A and B are shown apart, each in its own frame.
Chain A
């Protein structure tokens, strides 16, 4: 795993188009390092909140190779866009991740993000969900049902008041007074359920495209008036990890960052962590050279497809999509949608089902596209693409800078 990833990470820092405020300067990092060190020392003083076993012990118990673990820590450090000198801190933070309780609730969802979480590719740790993250509540995995399940959730909220990270999977249906989804013996609506549990969370992580931007239930015509968490919950720090499903590396990355710094990672204007969503798929795409050379797959299974040509003309939305799939891939780096010859459907972008998720370039869409779209021919669009995307990046970067500034003001 490590080799592929480290190569990818290296290419991240060398690619021309990937220079989005990566290096923040020595002074910044020195200050951050000291802050992280202090935070970790403070955490070390605490017993594990949930008395879970130490990750470190589990490494020793399993006789795992310490080098593998450090390799993972080093790749993760790079993924979090921190200098290599932070690697020991990241390793320490991983050992102390069990100081952060996680409550995970499901609303209008398909459980795809829970499934993604259990594919998490930490170092060779089978028990990531049991040892690394202290998962206090997750409906898909919880032993107890019914009232005992509700009690488990209430206990966790009470016990870790103000300290737990709340992961939310699924959209919030707002139509018909929220009755499109109810949970528990009292028939509480998803909306009320979310508000009640959000109240005492340290921060909320909206995981997957439904919880972030509404996702599939919110696709036109949005029959249940589904919304993302950030449109419903106010007055709490919210981190969005979109994609369908979200990449488990990014979920773990957010938790690690929280352990490491005690604060949420720097976010872009859509509340996405910049370490994961600071670049377009296109920037680090393995087929990028073919795009630049004008070599395209024209239809499925053609000679271009057999030669791994660029997938833009069969609908790849990598140029419009901010995510780190082209760097970290999926399922321990084994493959990803561009690798498998299909292309990107833009699943980490708002309204992607209506804007991007089809197998033609934007111009040939033939979709209802209630949110609009670029109505140009493919050739026109191809010519204007880099410029358009460049403008996109500029807007994105500016918005991110504003968001980042606000964040650092808060921290100061």
Chain B
């Protein structure tokens, strides 16, 4: 078992916590915890948390500790080349920045892509959603719920019965149901555990009392973790069929796609469909049942309205890990060919405030501002719209203390991520936001899937406003996507069979690229993603992106409003302060992508250029 090695400091010197977020009496005995690196994420992230004498988190800080300066790199390039570079923002949600960047150019050039290209792009991104959500759940998140070592105690026969039970709740056949299969996995695991080093499972939080699954349920989790390694390879192959490779596909170009021979080849379509079918089997027979299982076993946390950030303001809404409860979606997956911002979306755009699903606000991109009070940039003293803001880096470093640790200077600046605001408020983005907005808007398809999940799990809608709910929202979305993609493949095959093999819309680059600007605002697997581009005489004069993790992982703003990660941690009860299990469980539920959190700076810490449009993001 892991020794107690967390970086814990008895908090006698830690900054005063703000009254509004820390209702707990400030007696002695508070602990200040540093968790760095946060593993099982994309990128480099640090979380610091203050825990009171009752082991409840009373304050939290999220900091990105890496940046690469990609906006500067884009400047001066041909806009058609930016997509491939923008894609390298992230190798996990691979392809999504690529398409957003290309869409920004198409918006600037006023180019509408052909039907085949629209469907192919939907299939490429849809395959990404399936792949990304699955890998996130099993390989990046599951170990926060599943105690791998405890699975060695399971009874394989009971495990098989348990698997049938949860698949039944989900309304499907279990993907793995034979006792012998569970026994085989367990035998391997026992051998593995008995023989010493555990590799990537080494030094985990095994045995922590906030693991709630039974040994049999844990064994189901382990069996699916291993199987999912196999399934994800096939899901990635789907993206490669029309994208050329995965990670980092290569077939999307300004005006359309290049994979004309692949869409004309019935064998390719058939392979795509077969992989989709197989993947869907796993999603319905393993992923969803596991989420029902985890949702039920962790329902106490998910519905504990005292353990929420909102509880610190009076009445608690939702459960552990809920956070700010403002949900925003830009909308995505175009369902017709009327043009980028005219088409109907699979996931509608909108904003739900405070978890109140009776009202939905429309998204007005003019209301987006950014605040740098706690980010390593000079500010004007108030939040600025991206179009008028400035970026003057001001790295103030970490507070290196005698104990050998370096602490965030939380009273001042402490992250490379800015704090984006919508109409002065913090937002959460992601699959849960898409499901909540779709549900609140009365979207028929989304409402059907969400209602089905709540009915089968027997949980109230407020369960969604929690760590578990975020994970459930992602699973609901994955099932929806795997169903709707079947129709898209058929639509593509039918269109090509009818003689339409057009994949690209012609445009005169020299004519359209003289002086223009455009935006690609849509959805990444992790949430609302926008790329903005200004083009003059065929070259990019400014490039800007606000990525999902900017919204979710950002620090406080000048008013002290917490970022989504920070708020989500407040109120959480921690079983063992030296094992940050509950912290990483909630952080992982957002699916962090922190390479996206990197701003522009030169090697001397000076601004490289003054932009008319502020390069706000984060990558």
**B184 to chain A: which residues have CB within 8 Å?**
61
Given A58-B188, A146-B7, A224-B601, A151 contacting B203 (CB threshold 8 A): yes
Q: Which single residue of chain B is at the shortest CB-CB distance from A330? A: B245
Given A111-B595, A331-B246, A357-B85, A340 contacting B65 (CB threshold 8 A): no
Q: Are A146 and B240 in contact (CB under 8 A)?
A: no
Given A148-B5, A186-B405, A186-B406, A301 contacting B260 (CB threshold 8 A): yes
Given A143-B148, A145-B40, A216-B70, A367 contacting B199 (CB threshold 8 A): no
Cα A317 to Cα B302 in complex, Å, equals 53
Q: Which single residue of chain A is at the shortest CB-CB distance from B503? A: A301
For chain A, residues 118 to 151, give those with C-beta under 8 angstroms from any C-beta of chain B: 118-119, 121, 126-130, 134-151
User: Does B67 interact with chain A (Cβ within 8 Å)?
Assistant: yes
Select B600's contact among A223, A331, A340, beta carbons within 8 Å: A223
**A116 to chain B: which residues have CB within 8 Å?**
91, 247
Cα A215 to Cα B34 in complex, Å, equals 31
Select B91's contact among A112, A150, A187, beta carbons within 8 Å: A112
B579 to chain A, nearest CB (A): 7
Cα A337 to Cα B197 in complex, Å, equals 40
User: Does B574 interact with chain A (Cβ within 8 Å)?
Assistant: no
For chain B, residues 140 to 176, give those with C-beta under 8 angstroms from any C-beta of chain A: 140, 143, 148
Cα A109 to Cα B43 in complex, Å, equals 7
Cα A174 to Cα B69 in complex, Å, equals 13
User: Does A228 interact with chain B (Cβ within 8 Å)?
Assistant: no
State the interface size on chain A (CB cutoff 8 A).
98
Q: Are A335 and B91 in contact (CB under 8 A)?
A: no
Cα A245 to Cα B249 in complex, Å, equals 10
Q: Are B244 and A308 in contact (CB under 8 A)?
A: no
User: Does A70 interact with chain B (Cβ within 8 Å)?
Assistant: no
**B242 to chain A: which residues have CB within 8 Å?**
340
Select A61's contact among B88, B188, B233, B580, beta carbons within 8 Å: B188
**A245 to chain B: which residues have CB within 8 Å?**
91, 247-248
Q: Are B72 and A126 in contact (CB under 8 A)?
A: no
User: Does A21 interact with chain B (Cβ within 8 Å)?
Assistant: no
**A342 to chain B: which residues have CB within 8 Å?**
244, 250-251, 253, 258-259
**A186 to chain B: which residues have CB within 8 Å?**
400, 404-406
**A300 to chain B: which residues have CB within 8 Å?**
253, 255-256, 258, 503-504
Given A139-B39, A331-B237, A336-B245, A306 contacting B264 (CB threshold 8 A): yes
Select A144's contact among B2, B94, B261, B605, beta carbons within 8 Å: B2
Select B197's contact among A51, A118, A359, beta carbons within 8 Å: A51
Cα A355 to Cα B102 in complex, Å, equals 21
A114 to chain B, nearest CB (A): 7
Cα A215 to Cα B196 in complex, Å, equals 38
Majority secondary structure, B binding face: loop
A26-34, A177-185, A250-258: which lies at the interface: A177-185
User: Does B23 interact with chain A (Cβ within 8 Å)?
Assistant: no
Given contact pairs A121-B233, A216-B73, enumerate 4 new A-B contacts (beta carbons under 8 Å): A52-B195, A53-B191, A186-B400, A335-B262
B76-84, B337-345, B520-528: which lies at the interface: B76-84
Cα A340 to Cα B95 in complex, Å, equals 15
User: Does A221 interact with chain B (Cβ within 8 Å)?
Assistant: yes
Given A130-B226, A141-B40, A111 contacting B196 (CB threshold 8 A): no
Q: Are B80 and A358 in contact (CB under 8 A)?
A: yes
18 residue pairs from A and B, CB less than 8 Å apart: A51-B197, A53-B191, A110-B43, A110-B91, A111-B42, A112-B90, A115-B92, A141-B40, A148-B6, A173-B68, A184-B37, A223-B608, A300-B504, A301-B258, A301-B260, A331-B237, A341-B260, A367-B78
Q: Which single residue of chain A is at the shortest CB-CB distance from B400? A: A187
User: Does A383 interact with chain B (Cβ within 8 Å)?
Assistant: no
Q: Are B240 and A330 in contact (CB under 8 A)?
A: yes
For chain B, residues 32 to 70, give those with C-beta under 8 angstroms from any C-beta of chain A: 33-44, 65-70
Q: Which single residue of chain A is at the shortest CB-CB distance from B258? A: A341
Q: Which of A106, A216, A300, A357 has its CB near the most chain B CB atoms (within 10 A)? A: A300
Cα A115 to Cα B239 in complex, Å, equals 13
Cα A134 to Cα B187 in complex, Å, equals 19
Q: Are B229 and A118 in contact (CB under 8 A)?
A: yes
For chain A, residues 351 to 381, give those with C-beta under 8 angstroms from any C-beta of chain B: 353, 357-359, 366-368
Q: Are A340 and B244 in contact (CB under 8 A)?
A: yes
**A136 to chain B: which residues have CB within 8 Å?**
197, 199-200, 202
User: Does A295 interact with chain B (Cβ within 8 Å)?
Assistant: no
Q: Are A176 and B259 in contact (CB under 8 A)?
A: no
Cα A141 to Cα B191 in complex, Å, equals 21
User: Does A305 interact with chain B (Cβ within 8 Å)?
Assistant: yes
Q: Are A119 and B246 in contact (CB under 8 A)?
A: yes
Given A140-B40, A179-B395, A183-B44, A129 contacting B229 (CB threshold 8 A): yes
1/0 contact string of B185-216 vs chain A (CB within 8 Å): 00110011001110111111100000000000
User: Does A196 interact with chain B (Cβ within 8 Å)?
Assistant: no
**B504 to chain A: which residues have CB within 8 Å?**
299-301
**B33 to chain A: which residues have CB within 8 Å?**
146
A335 to chain B, nearest CB (A): 5
For chain A, residues 290 to 310, give those with C-beta under 8 angstroms from any C-beta of chain B: 299-301, 305-306, 308
Given A115-B91, A134-B199, A187-B406, A139 contacting B244 (CB threshold 8 A): no
Q: Are B73 and A331 in contact (CB under 8 A)?
A: no
A-B pairs with lowest CB-CB distance, top 6: A112-B91, A223-B69, A187-B406, A175-B603, A301-B504, A340-B244
User: Does B394 interact with chain A (Cβ within 8 Å)?
Assistant: no
User: Does A226 interact with chain B (Cβ within 8 Å)?
Assistant: yes
User: Does B243 interact with chain A (Cβ within 8 Å)?
Assistant: yes
User: Does A220 interact with chain B (Cβ within 8 Å)?
Assistant: yes
**B378 to chain A: which residues have CB within 8 Å?**
none
Cα A155 to Cα B3 in complex, Å, equals 13
Q: Are A180 and B91 in contact (CB under 8 A)?
A: no
Q: Are B68 and A216 in contact (CB under 8 A)?
A: yes
**B605 to chain A: which residues have CB within 8 Å?**
176
Q: Are A143 and B237 in contact (CB under 8 A)?
A: no
Q: Are B201 and A183 in contact (CB under 8 A)?
A: no
1/0 contact string of B449-460 vs chain A (CB within 8 Å): 000000000000
Q: Are B39 and A144 in contact (CB under 8 A)?
A: yes
Q: Which single residue of chain A is at the shortest CB-CB distance from B132? A: A115
Q: Are B195 and A151 in contact (CB under 8 A)?
A: no
B377 to chain A, nearest CB (A): 14
Q: Are B80 and A118 in contact (CB under 8 A)?
A: no
B287 to chain A, nearest CB (A): 16
Select A244's contact among B88, B398, B406, B584, beta carbons within 8 Å: B88
Cα A264 to Cα B402 in complex, Å, equals 43
Q: Which single residue of chain B is at the shortest CB-CB distance from A216? A: B88
A54 to chain B, nearest CB (A): 10
